[in-house]
A = this chain, B = another copy of it.
Amino acid sequence: MITRDDLAARDAQDPLASFRDAYVLPDGVIYLDGNSLGALPHEARTRLHDVIEREWGRDLIRSWTKNDWIGLPARVGDKIGRLIGAAPGQTVAADSISVNLFKLLAAALQLRPGRTTIVTEEGNFPTDLYIAQGLTGLIERLGGTQFKLRYADPLDIPATLDDDVAVVMLTHVDFKSGRSHDMAAVTAAAHLHGALMLWDLSHSAGAVPVDLDGCNADLAVGCGYKYLNGGPGAPAFLYAAARHQDAIDPALAGWMGHAAPFEFSPDYRPAPGIARMLVGTPPVLSMAALEIGVDGLIAADMTRLRAKSLALTGTFMDLVEQELGDAFGIMTPRGEHDRGSQVSLTHRHGYAIARALIDRGVIPDFRAPDVLRLGFTPLYLRFVDLWDAVAILKDIMATGAWDRADYKVRAAVT
Chain A residues within 8 Å of B, Cβ to Cβ: 24, 26, 29, 31, 33, 36-37, 39-40, 44-45, 48, 52-53, 55-58, 60-65, 69-70, 95-99, 102, 106, 109-110, 113, 122-124, 126-127, 129-131, 133-135, 137-139, 141-145, 147, 176, 225, 231-236, 249-256, 258, 261-268, 279-287, 289, 358, 363, 365, 367-368, 411-414
Contact = CB atoms under 8 A, between A and B. Distances in A.
A227 B56 CA distance: 14
Contacts of A279: 96, 98-99
Residue with the highest number of chain B CB atoms closer than 10 Å, among A127, A147, A236? A127
A258 B144 contact: no
Contacts of A365: 61
Nearest to A250: B134
Contacts of A109: 142
Contacts of A130: 253-255, 258, 268
A126 B282 CA distance: 17
B61 A40 contact: no
B280 A289 contact: no
A65 B98 CA distance: 22
10 contacts: A33-B61, A44-B52, A62-B363, A63-B232, A69-B233, A95-B99, A126-B264, A130-B268, A234-B283, A283-B286
A235 B281 CA distance: 9
A137 B134 CA distance: 17
A68 to B, nearest CB: 11
A249 B264 CA distance: 32
A26 to B, nearest CB: 5
Nearest to A69: B232
Contact of A60 (B144, B285, B363, B411): B363
Given A24-B57, A286-B285, A358 B266 contact: no
Contacts of A135: 251
Contacts of A57: 24, 26, 39-40, 45
Contacts of A62: 358, 363
Contact of A255 (B98, B113, B263): B98
A412 B283 contact: no
A144 B134 contact: no
Contacts of A289: 285
A102 B134 CA distance: 13
A64 B144 CA distance: 39
A281 B52 CA distance: 22
